[in-house]
Structure 1
Amino acid sequence: MNTLLPTTLVGSYAMPEWLIDRARLAGRFPPRVRALELWRPAPDHLEEAQDDATIMAIHMQERAGIDIVTDGEMRRESYSNRFATALEGVDLDNPGVALDRSGHPNPVPRVTGRIRRRHSVQVRDVEFLRRNTDRRIKITVPGPFTMTQQAQNDFYANEEEMALDYAAAVNEEIRDLFAAGADIVQIDEPYLQARPEKARQYGAKAIDRALQDVDGVTALHVCFGYAAIIHGDRPHGYDYLGELAGTRVDQVSVETAQPKLDPAELAPLRGKHIMVGTIDLNDPAIETPETVAERIRRAMTVVPADKIIVAPDCGFKYVPRNIAFAKMQAMVEGAALVRATL
């Protein structure tokens, strides 16, 4: 990193009401199959509207002073379904069912054949992002372990075999995303925390297969689920975190603000760069820069400053746009406060 304590988003940014029905989006778990009914523009105007929303998200990040810019994930109904439903081996007409992380059944991709990537899914997203900013850029893809947990397996002998084929598809996509101009590619793996027992069986193996022979900076995101969707008490610690220390990934994104995470939990990851979540998206109150600075300093008691990337906890897509921007500004200003003392 060229900047000490660089700032970035986990991936998503607040989606505008003119683009997507935010009330319907927030009133359900993130869709695992396509949910085109959530979009407000007519189908023949949807891509143009998503492009315009992406330009808005880029502009707001630049205006706030974000160092590593994302596309805000403005083309996705959820972080995972756009990629997961573009793969060969999935019956899109007859979805399956799987339990979400809160234990409720959800429609999911039904795997009826060998998982393979037919074509690149997000290359245009990276090219568009690259054309519209001169800052470092990051793009996110769903992780193989999480996609395995969000599918009904009607083909493979076991989940590990399916996860490794998902990983091969992700690997092909990541290579193309770097070739298209991405500076960082992030794998989203929230279900490593939600299903730690299975994660210990084959999670790290699937991640390393997804990153095999990849030439570029890679990140991995773990979390406790969207605050806007999963209500009630948040866990105060991770069941699956230290296991990532031995994987090929360069950066690990960790929520620390919402769970008030003990910085000691970050110790096993000291060899990685850590995206430290400093914005609590379970609380609509806008943090002061001083609050953000204090959260960064807490992480610095365990992690060297040159290994810290400043980020929010995940779920910005559900936050009202005015609050999202103000929180993002506070995050950038908080990082600047700490940077000035180093």
Structure 2
Amino acid sequence: MDLSAHLGLILAAFVLDLILGDPVYRFHPIRLLGAWSLVCERGLFGLGLNGRFGGVLHWLMVVGGALGVWWGVREGLGWVHPWLAWCWDLFLAYSLLCLRDLLVHGWRVLEALPDLERARHAVSMLVGRDTDRLGRDGVVRATIESLSENLTDAVLTPLWTLCLFGLPGLILVKAVSNLDSMVGFKDARYGRFGWAGARSDDLAHWLPARLSAPLIALAAALMRLHPGLALSAALRYHAVLPSPNSGWSEAAFAGALRVRLIGPIHVGGRLVVDLYIGDPNWPADLDAGHLRQALWLILFSALLALAFGLALATLRSVIG
């Protein structure tokens, strides 16, 4: 694919996602990928391959299957006409980017905030913690945490991978993220089997997570927020969370907004976390104004990520 077609694909996919959002239908690529993952998992478990070796085979089957379907359909369409192959790439790229859905979920919580029960229900669509005891401040903190964490997973990594490596790269990282969400658990069933999926997901997001901090700081500067605090908070507080990646963007958001995030988290009625990200002097009693700023910060960060990605794609084409 030449540079103009590649840049056109990136821009068109980004704009379609921003305008239309993720298409919801039975045969969505991620749903098909999840169904294929389950089929492979059951087959391997049935053969007794439920350890790390089976997990690696599962990884290869899921990722290889996703790439194989994309390539096979693309080759068939390209035989008819090259532009049909490009449209297939556009359809998949648009389907696998998630910026609008991220903004819509956050906006639903913002609209529901005057009614605390509605707000708790809305945020329950975003987080896995108990929401029935959250106050408005807790609802806002949970929403901003989810938005900032998913900025890396759902926007930065997929977008930059598409820019640098085209559709194969995007399909790879989305398949890996899907594997992590399905088998990347530290429990009796998946502790060994899900190792390949979990570790490859950590690896895929490692660099974008760290690049998210200066990106969020630049977006904060454009919004006249706190860019310096975004950088210093990311460096100081990213290791508070056990995840090797999610702490970077969450801490950067805390600094950019000059607020404390996280707070007490209950799961299944049990207190599992009781800590904050951010300076003790920053407010934790957050309101609709903070959430509105966070939504704008997500959008500004995504637009800057697009500009950076297009520059990377152009540079790679010139060097290559």
Question: Do both proteins adopt the same fold according to a TM-score greater than 0.5, normalized to the shorter chain?
Answer: no
> Larger helix proportion, structure 1 or 2?
2
> Larger strand proportion, structure 1 or 2?
1
Larger Cα-atom Rg: 2
TM-score normalised per structure 1: 0.29
TM-score normalised per structure 2: 0.30
